[in-house]
């Protein structure tokens, strides 16, 4: 069987047969995540080498440490899937699973909460919507041809989005021009948005180059567009899994004198948290500078 055939067979088995079993318990979810991390590392060694070199450059760690960190990031991404499936089946357990580290900020007025493909970003949004910011709307990439995935994964992603919309009480705002009118209206009436700022620039309509760990990377530039509206607060935050749940870490509010710097400032606020738990960031191979020969296309939901 070709490598492409192996990939297709594995993806179908993973999402249609293995992932549904993680609804049973958090323990089954951990087993799923470690299995997926091992298989993914074996199926795509090129991606692993790209991530390893980047980790070495950006964090100054050894090749062995970089390899371990990347493999753990594969486990983290799979763990997010398993946790989502578990909480879809045990919804009452979701809200108490989150614990805010330190004193949560008190913010008045329109706010954009910004995070990364790190830890459990969708569950973090639901924590905000359930416990802190009931009117928060999430901006996410549409599940279309620009976000390629196998049929079994698309079925899971579609169920996940429908569940998150029901739990939060709000439909997703899609990262496309038509939905930006709704996003602007949300801010202008004093509401809040939640978005991820590490979407690779090659999968969106608008992108720009930003500094990250001392290198220039190309990322989506939607935050800068939205920052022009109503001068919203920009609040960085991440969630880090712990035994039995998740810790929510807030960064300092971003003071954006101009929308041109707001994405860079948001990234700078998040970088210390990424450096403290690099195994939780999924996009090590996916945010290279444009034209970087190491680049390989990534897709998140």
pLDDT tens-digit map of 38-61: 999 999 999 999 999 999 999 999
pTM of the model: 0.91
Strands 192-196 and 136-140: parallel
Please provide the distance, in angstroms rounded to a whole number, between the alpha carbons at the two ends of the chain: 28
- Cβ count near 293 (within 10 Å): 6
In this prediction, residues 97-118 reach a mean pLDDT of 92
What ranges do the domains of the chain cover?
Answer: 3-280
- Going by C-alpha positions, the residue among 111, 143, 138 that lies closest to residue 124 is 138
Query: With contact defined as beta carbons under 8 Å apart, do 159 and 85 qualify?
Result: no
Q: Which helix (H) or strand (E) segment is 240 a member of? A: strand 233-242
- Confidence band for 257, pLDDT divided at 50, 70 and 90: low
Q: Provide mean pLDDT across the span 60-71.
A: 98
pLDDT of residue 181: 85
What are the φ/ψ torsions at residue 117 (nearest 5 degrees)?
-75, 80
Can you tell me the mean pLDDT for 80-109? 94
- The SS3 assignment for 228 reads coil
Q: What percent of the chain has pLDDT over 70?
A: 92
Q: Which position has the higher pLDDT, 175 or 22?
A: 22
The helix (H) or strand (E) run that includes residue 220 is strand 215-220
Q: What are phi and psi of 24, to 5 degrees?
A: -70, -45
Look at residue 118 and tell me whether its pLDDT is greater than 80.
yes
pLDDT of residue 299: 38
Q: Find out whether 225 and 206 touch, Cβ atoms under 8 Å.
A: yes
Q: How many beta carbons lie within 10 A of that of residue 106, not counting itself? A: 5
DSSP-assigned beta bridge partners for residue 140 = 174
């Amino acid at each position: 069987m070709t490598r492409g055939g192996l990939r297709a067979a594995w993806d179908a088995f993973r999402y249609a047969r293995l992932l549904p079993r993680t609804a049973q318990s958090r323990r089954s979810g951990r087993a799923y995540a470690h299995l997926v991390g091992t298989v993914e590392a074996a199926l795509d060694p090129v991606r692993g080498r790209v991530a390893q070199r980047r980790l070495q450059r950006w964090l100054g760690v050894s090749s062995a440490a970089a390899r371990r960190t990347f493999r753990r990031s594969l486990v983290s991404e799979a763990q997010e899937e398993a946790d989502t499936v578990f909480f879809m089946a045990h919804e009452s357990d979701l809200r108490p699973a989150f614990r805010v580290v330190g004193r949560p900020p008190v913010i008045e007025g329109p706010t954009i909460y910004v995070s990364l493909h790190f830890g459990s970003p969708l569950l973090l949004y639901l924590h905000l919507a359930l416990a802190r910011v009931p009117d928060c709307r999430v901006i996410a990439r549409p599940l279309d041809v620009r976000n390629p995935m196998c049929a079994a994964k698309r079925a899971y992603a579609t169920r996940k989005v429908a569940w998150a919309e029901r739990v939060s009480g709000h439909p997703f705002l899609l990262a496309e021009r038509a939905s930006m009118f709704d996003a602007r209206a949300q801010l202008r009436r004093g509401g809040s948005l939640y978005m991820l700022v590490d979407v690779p620039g090659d999968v969106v309509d608008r992108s720009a180059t930003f500094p990250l760990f001392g290198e220039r990377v190309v990322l989506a530039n939607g935050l800068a567009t939205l920052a022009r509206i109503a001068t919203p607060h920009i609040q960085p935050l991440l969630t880090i899994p712990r035994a039995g749940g998740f810790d929510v870490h807030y960064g300092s509010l971003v003071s954006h004198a101009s929308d041109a710097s707001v994405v860079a400032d948001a990234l700078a606020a998040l970088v210390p948290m990424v450096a403290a738990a690099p195994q939780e960031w999924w996009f090590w191979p996916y945010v290279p500078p444009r034209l970087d020969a190491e680049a390989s296309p990534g897709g998140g939901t």
